[in-house]
Amino acid sequence: MGKPTGFLDYERVNAKAEAPKSRIKHFNEFHEYLPEEKQRLQGARCMECGVPFCQAGAMLMGMASGCPLHNLVPEWNDLVYNGNWEQAYKRLKKTNNFPEFTSRVCPALCENACTCGLYDEPVASKANEHAIIEHAYANGYAVAKPPKVRTGKKIAVIGSGPSGLACADQLNKRGHSVTVYERNDRIGGLLMYGIPNMKLEKHIIDRKINIMKEEGIEFVTNANIGQEIKASKILAQYDKVVLCCGASNPRDINVPGRDAKGIYFAVDFLTRNTKSLLDSDFKDKKYIDTKDKNVIIIGGGDTGNDCVGTSIRHGAKSVTQIEMMPKAPDCRAENNPWPEWPKICKTDYGQEEAIAVYGHDPRIYETTVKEFIKDKNGNLKAVKLVKLQFVKDEATGRNKMVEVEGSETVMDADIVLIAAGFLGSQKYLTDAFKVEVNERTNIKTEPGKYQTSVPNVFAAGDVHRGQSLVVWAIREGREAAKAVDESLMGYSNLNVQ
């Protein structure tokens, strides 16, 4: 364990964030992390509990409590405290292929299940993870380690998001020859184009991809399997194929006026923004510009928040975020006890910036869009909103949301961004590989398995489980890799926990 009295001696100290009005002037990461000695004291707060919920990844009331990767959190917290950074890196990498990503974008399920958090502040495990991986890069631990023996087996991984990269990394470690296909022009999938640069700078992805290339993984970009490249060609070239294509179908808002000019899916907005930033520092003007525009974002969650922060950075006149659900409580409710995931109101970086710039929280709860209003040229000019409320359905006994009569209001809008989640796989891909899908259009497998209905074709990540977190995608990629390895070799020594 860390220091026996560490949780009493030291308070939690977070990485200092740049002030909102300063950070909105750029698209770079904006946290200043602690120096090494002070970070070690954060490791001292970990008590290596007898039952470490932080690494359990158990499902409680339909939500994960602790890390789905089963990261050995108490072990590397103790190693951080003792200054044994190389061993901490080895223990971290045992369960997590990409701590350089998760230490930036994960919502820290480990911390929300931390025993210290029951009555005090949880251990700063996410910041400790960041310190470990960055220390490893700085001191030469995170170097390429190509496999010494190759098996002669060839595997294609379709999609280079976190599940595809994790699957490829594991299979390559086993000695298989892996080729990753990505339909976009850069490797990373969701990590590259779905997450803004201020949350995850893209050179961090490139740094890891270059190491994976040194280790023998081949990457092919601008390769849209199922369209430009036939699935039959891939199946003929490789022993196994793993579909890690993400949940790529955005949920739409089909109300009158949907054809108005100025309505975009959030994923397209974020993708075009990051691509323009990387290609030309916005000089090509190929992004969706929100400068001096009234922006309305439909949907909460991380994607909606990312749209808020991105719109503000481009100089939006106003930003409003519409959420159907009621505002969550500020503290845990009695029916949501620790160590369950806390269903509380979270004010993220984008909302913080909106409060600083516009003087109020951008979120409007229990509200939805009833109509998009166009001008005579077909351009969006306003939205009609309506309030919602829960009522009990007498037939089923369940609560349902209905409109509040007479609650319609009209709000000016030049741009609407739809951040209402995703519906599953894209049909052209599943049709190309002839794999079965379930009622949610996710690729169907037996529960807990990754083999699809088609021989030699596996699936992992959001295309398999539906829209989820990066840590879940990594876990699925690791487990799918083990399933592929077993099908090829008859056994597997790949670690998934």
User: Is the sign of the CA dihedral 143, 48, 43, 471 positive or negative?
Assistant: positive
End-to-end CA distance of the chain: 21
- 483-487 contacts, C-beta under 8 A, 24 or more apart: 483/449, 483/450, 483/451, 483/458, 484/155, 484/167, 484/171, 484/240, 484/242, 484/450, 484/458, 485/170, 485/171, 485/174, 485/176, 487/240, 487/451, 487/456
Domain boundary among the residues 138, 165, 181 is at: 138
| Any domain includes 255 | no
* Together in a domain, 160 and 270: no
Return mean pLDDT, the chain: 96
Show Cβ contacts of residue 85 under 8 Å, excluding neighbours closer than 6 positions. 79, 132, 135, 136, 139, 141
| Structure tokens belonging to residue 363 | 């979120």
Which tens digits make up the pLDDT trace of 394-431? 888 888 889 999 999 999 999 999 999 998 899 999 99
| Strand 177-181 versus strand 154-158 pairing type | parallel
- Check residue 489 and report its DSSP letter: H
The CA distance from 94 to 477, in Å, is 14
| Any domain includes 143 | no
| Any domain includes 438 | yes
* Together in a domain, 404 and 428: no
For 86, the domain range is 6-138
User: Is the sign of the CA dihedral 71, 76, 80, 86 positive or negative?
Assistant: negative
* Together in a domain, 271 and 413: yes
CATH number, domain at 335? 3.50.50.60
pLDDT tens digits in sequence order for the chain, 497 residues long: 778 899 999 999 999 999 999 999 999 999 999 999 999 999 999 998 888 999 999 999 999 999 999 999 999 999 999 999 999 999 999 999 999 999 999 999 999 999 999 889 999 999 999 999 999 999 999 999 999 999 999 999 999 999 999 999 999 999 999 999 999 999 999 999 999 999 999 999 999 999 999 999 999 999 999 999 999 999 999 999 999 999 988 999 999 999 999 999 999 999 999 999 999 999 999 999 999 999 999 998 899 999 999 999 999 999 999 999 999 999 999 999 999 999 999 999 999 999 999 999 999 999 999 999 999 999 999 999 999 998 988 888 888 889 999 999 999 999 999 999 998 899 999 999 999 999 999 999 999 999 999 999 999 999 999 999 999 999 999 999 999 999 999 999 998 76
CB 240 within 8 A of CB 155: yes
**What pTM value is reported for the model?**
0.96
| Structure tokens belonging to residue 368 | 């939805």
The CA distance from 486 to 439, in Å, is 29
| Any domain includes 258 | no
Residue 190: which of 302, 354, 75, 293 has the closest Cα?
A: 302
Q: How many domains does the chain have?
A: 3
HSE-CB at 165 with a 13 A cutoff on CA atoms is 27
Return the bridge partners of 321, or none.
297, 363
Domain boundary among the residues 76, 105, 138 is at: 138
Phi first, then psi: give them for residue 305, nearest 5 degrees: -65, -40
- Runs of H (alpha helix) within 327-469: 349-358, 427-433, 462-465
Which tens digits make up the pLDDT trace of 473-492? 999 999 999 999 999 999 99
Residue 13: which of 29, 26, 31 has the closest Cα?
A: 31
Phi first, then psi: give them for residue 18, nearest 5 degrees: -60, 145
